[in-house]
Amino acid sequence: MSENKTGKYLKYAIGEIILVMIGILLALQVNNWNQKRMEVNEEKIILSNLKEDFESAIVEFKSLNSLREDVIYAAKAIYEVDIKDIENYHSRYLDSLLLKTLTAPTFNNQAGSLNVLLTSGKINLIANQPLKKKLIEWPGDVADMTEDEINHSNLYVDKYCNILDKYISWNTVFKHGTNGGSRFKERLIKKMEDNAMVSSDYKLLLEDKVFLNTLRRRAIYCELTNGETTILIEKAENIITSINKELNN
């Protein structure tokens, strides 16, 4: 009789243990499911923010390319000016060409969501491995392009403008033009009164070998950077396509 009671208690205890274990496992499963659901929701928020960043980057890339195309166009036109016939070129035309070269645009690289993602370690929330790889590689891809932008900007500020100082009246150049190098809304530059001591001499400028070589180098930088930026636009569009697929899943 005692053995039967012991057996019943033992079976009851084992049953209780099994029920407790099942309860624990179910609780863990629910917790894991909730954790996974939260991670999926967070991933979608991250992907949405990334999409906005890459869309903004594409808009800025295209704007920068347009500005650099103006520099290339103006450089070619300046190269084609016939010095022997310089008197027949209207000063306003020459000023307008020069004005287009007065820019060395650089990418702001405001990829806030991606920077947070990489520095916080939350990049691991991205389940799509090929997409994750592209995101990790993106800063390096941009750095390659911005290196040429910086070199061009340094050439523009440190050398090109200094050459122009010797031959050009900045007041005259900006007299009829707008701020062509601005990525923002065009605005007229406030004109100062002309000074007889400062005037433009395009003949001397176009006879300056250093000026012509510097202008050509700037055009080369613009061509190289535009090629690199075009590739970045394609990569950004590809990333956006991948993000859209993940958001629609």
pLDDT by residue (tens digit) across 172-206? 888 756 555 555 455 555 666 666 567 889 999 99
For 25-39, 149-163, 201-215, which range has the lowest pLDDT when averaged over its residues?
25-39
Per-residue pLDDT band at 37 (split at 50, 70, 90): low
Structural domain of 79: 2-248
Structure confidence by residue, pLDDT tens digits, 59-82: 999 999 999 999 999 999 999 999
DSSP string, the chain: -HHHHHHHHHHHHHHHHHHHHHHHHHHHHHHHHHHHHHHHHHHHHHHHHHHHHHHHHHHHHHHHHHHHHHHHHHHHHHHT--GGGGGGS-HHHHHHHHHHTS---------HHHHHHHHHTGGGG---HHHHHHHHHHHHHHHHHHHHHHHHHHHIIIIIHHHHHHH--HHHHTTS-B-TT-SS---BPPPPPP-TT----HHHHHT-HHHHHHHHHHHHHHHHHHHHHHHHHHHHHHHHHHHHHHHH-
Q: CA–CA separation, 95 vs 102, rounded Å?
A: 11
pLDDT score for 124: 86
Structural domain count, the chain: 1
What is the Cα 87 distance to its own chain's centre? 43
Structure confidence by residue, pLDDT tens digits, 125-146: 888 999 999 999 999 999 999 9
Q: At 188, phi and psi to the nearest 5? A: -70, 140
For 104-108, 174-178, 234-238, which range has the lowest pLDDT when averaged over its residues?
174-178
User: Cα(first)–Cα(last) distance of the chain, in Å?
Assistant: 63
Per-residue pLDDT band at 26 (split at 50, 70, 90): confident
For 214-240, what is the mean pLDDT?
Answer: 97
Q: CA–CA separation, 88 vs 109, rounded Å?
A: 44
